[in-house]
Amino acid sequence: MSIQETACPRLLSGVRTKYDKVRGNWVLLAPERAIKLDDIGAAILAETDGERSLGGILDALVAKYNAPRDQIAGDVSTFLESLRERRMLEVT
């Protein structure tokens, strides 16, 4: 199942990002999970504010990283969908 561009992804309560100073990377903290984020994951979640639609998130990433939209759309959708399957994110 893929997320529609008009849909709005939001991290669920009790799920948050944090910069891990000790290890020098971003992590996603969730119930009994700590997931190390790579630069791409961290960039996507930095734009996932719960208000922006997937389309809006893509627009922001395109503008910020000067990346071709159709190239990143798949990656962003797959990443957010994997979080949804793990009950860390909801889509409204």
Residues that bind another protein (CB under 8 A): 12-16, 18, 20, 22-23, 27, 29-32, 34, 84-87
Q: Which is nearer to another protein, 27 or 44 (CB)?
A: 27
Query: Strand 33-37 to strand 25-30: parallel, antiparallel, or no bridges (unpaired)?
Result: antiparallel
Q: Are 35 and 28 in contact (CB under 8 A)?
A: yes
What's the closest the beta carbon of residue 50 comes to another protein, in angstroms? 13
Closest to another protein by CB, 11 or 58: 11
Q: What is the dihedral sign for C-alpha 77, 83, 88, 92?
A: positive
